[in-house]
Every structure is written in structure tokens, then in C-alpha cells.
Chains A and B, each alone.
Chain A
Amino acid sequence: EVQLVESGGGLVQPGGSLRLSCAASGFTLNNYWMSWVRQAPGKGLEWVASIKQDGSEIYYVDSVKGRFTMSRDNAKNSVHLQMNSLRAEDTAVYYCARGGLRYAFDIWGQGTKVTVSS
């Protein structure tokens, strides 16, 4: 079965850090762009970051540039999002999704909740 499973969410204080992970199974990870999308409480979907198959290109939404780092380990079938200097406005459910440049986001994980609060 093709699936993505996120982990690593939780409660963190403003200025803190979290590392989200996304475990892929049922497909060959290194054939696909991968992305992170978030959804703040009661709000719409917001694209966060995307990474090319070999990790050579990574793109971020302006609001997280310099704070978030997306990476991938194709050998371990995993994708990661290192989030530093977290702010209250980063509070959201974070989804891992298969897709990127000219490839729609066809597989989504169940999401992991991140809450930034003191």
C-alpha cells in the first residue's frame, strides 16, 4: 500500500525547534518530488516546502525561509522538516505529500499537529 506517515509534532514554546519526519512506503521515494503543506486551525491549505528527487533543489514559502529546512533520505525512505525559531503563526497540522514540479500532490499523510505556545 502506498502511504506516508508523519511524526514529530507536538507542543513547543515560541523560539523553539521541532523536526518532523515523513516515512514513505509502497513506492520508490527517489522517483518523486516531495512536499510539506500546512493548515492552521480553521484555515486553508498553505504550501510550505518542496524538494526535488535528489535533494538538489529545495523551495520554501517566504514565511519560513531561513527558519525551516527540508531534507530527504532516499535510502531510508524518509523526508524531514527541521523547524527552528518557531512562532505562534506556525501552529498548524503539517502534511507530507508526494508531488512537486508539474506533479500534483497525489498521496498525503494523515498529518502531524504542531502547536507553538508558551
Chain B
Amino acid sequence: DIQMTQSPSTLSASVGDRVTITCRASQSISSWLAWYRQKPGKAPKLLMFKASSLESGVPSRFSGSGSGTEFTLTISSLQPDDFATYYCQQYDTYSSWTFGQGTKVEIK
């Protein structure tokens, strides 16, 4: 099975900061990578799909890049609504759809 590893596990930042989260796959997944944001007690929300495509309605401060095994999610200017946990997910393989362990973005 493909393993997904996110870094860092926790990130402390301030409103207005540029933030980058990294996700590594244990084998190539081409660009079949998604990013989600989850707030406490709520369902995850899709932010990016196919590594770099912005989901409809998601603010343009979010961007994604990468292919193969290394991917990044960047928030260009952190907003109060962005303090949450972020997950990457591969959806390439037929038999499993693995999530990363999550990155919690905290207020500095």
C-alpha cells in the first residue's frame, strides 16, 4: 500500500504568514493528490485536487504543486479561518485511498 507522510505535524503561524505543508508518497502517484482542511467537529473540506487544481469556491490564497512523490500546499497569506488541520490524500490506486497523518496549523 502507498504511504503518505506529511510534514510538519504541527505548525505555528500568525495571520498574514505564508505557510507551506509538504506531503510525500511512498511511490509515484502522478498528480492524483488532494488536500483537505478540517476544523474541529466538522467534516473535511476539499481544497485542491489533482495536486494543483483549486476546488470551486476555495480562496485563491491556496495553491498546490508537485507530482510523483513530493507535493506541497501553500497558503499565501494565512487567515483566521485557516487555523485548522490539513490532510493530503492519494487517490491513484484501485485498492486504497490513503490519507497523510495531518498537519495542525496553530496560532503563534
Contact = CB atoms under 8 A, between A and B. Distances in A.
A57 to B, nearest CB: 8
A95 B43 contact: yes
Q: Is the interface of B mostly helix, strand, loop or mixed?
A: loop
Contact of A104 (B50, B101, B102): B50
B102 A35 contact: no
- Contact-residue bracket for chain B: 20 to 34
Interface in A29-80: 35, 37, 44-47, 50, 57, 59, 61
B82 interface: no
A85 B92 CA distance: 30
Interface string B58-84: 000000000000000000000000000
A45 B100 CA distance: 8
A116 to B, nearest CB: 20
B32 A105 contact: no
Interface of A: 35, 37, 44-47, 50, 57, 59, 61, 95, 99-106, 108-111
Contact of B102 (A44, A101, A102): A44
A35 B89 CA distance: 13
A111 B101 contact: no
